[in-house]
Homo-oligomer: A and B are copies of this chain.
Amino acid sequence: MSPVSPHFDVSERPQCVLGVDPGLNRTGYAILGRSASGPVLREGGVIRSTADLTLAERIHELGCGLREVIDEFKPQVLAIEQVFSTSKFPKTAILMAHARGALLFAAADAGIPVVHYTPTQVKRLLTGSGHASKEQIQHAIRQELKLEKVLEPNDVADAFAVALCHYHSMRGIVLGSSIDNR
């Protein structure tokens, strides 16, 4: 049995969280496991799409890649960053939302619930500050996962950041108020 403290019920945390940093060219993913001593890195990687294919074929590559990750690790939940702004790079935001749609579809198709976190929530959960820098986030991930060096590439680190955010935001409820419809 997992150790249980009155303040922090580790036993209620998911055994396996899939974190995703979506992008049309590259989608980073993180498989975060749970041990008695805290969260552990099980696998991290990048799912790539082929640049000269059509949009439908590219997002199909991403969704199928995620499907394979889900089949292999059987995560209980997928954690992903919420999309907000389209103002700076509207075309990029629209293409990313297509990729995100295919990834969410693949997760739902495999029966995996999806939780969304804002970038501020991720930063605050990991560092205590909603305005943390990339370096502070990297440092927090390294400490949390007891890594010898900083995680690379960036999309894999970002996928672990959102997975860790979900891991730490759990207080005995696997799916709580952090779920919204974005």
Contact = CB atoms under 8 A, between A and B. Distances in A.
A29 B99 CA distance: 22
- How many subunits of this chain does the assembly comprise? 2
A182 B98 CA distance: 10
Contacts of A54: 113-114, 179-181
A98 B58 CA distance: 14
B179 A104 contact: no
A132 interface: no
B104 A55 contact: yes
A166 B11 CA distance: 56
A83 interface: yes
Residue of A59, A63, A94, A107 with most chain B CB atoms under a 10 A cut-off? A94
Residue of A56, A87, A90, A109 with most chain B CB atoms under a 10 A cut-off? A56
Interface of A: 53-60, 63-64, 83, 85-87, 90, 93-95, 97-109, 113-114, 116, 179-182
5 contacts: A54-B181, A55-B182, A56-B105, A56-B108, A85-B90
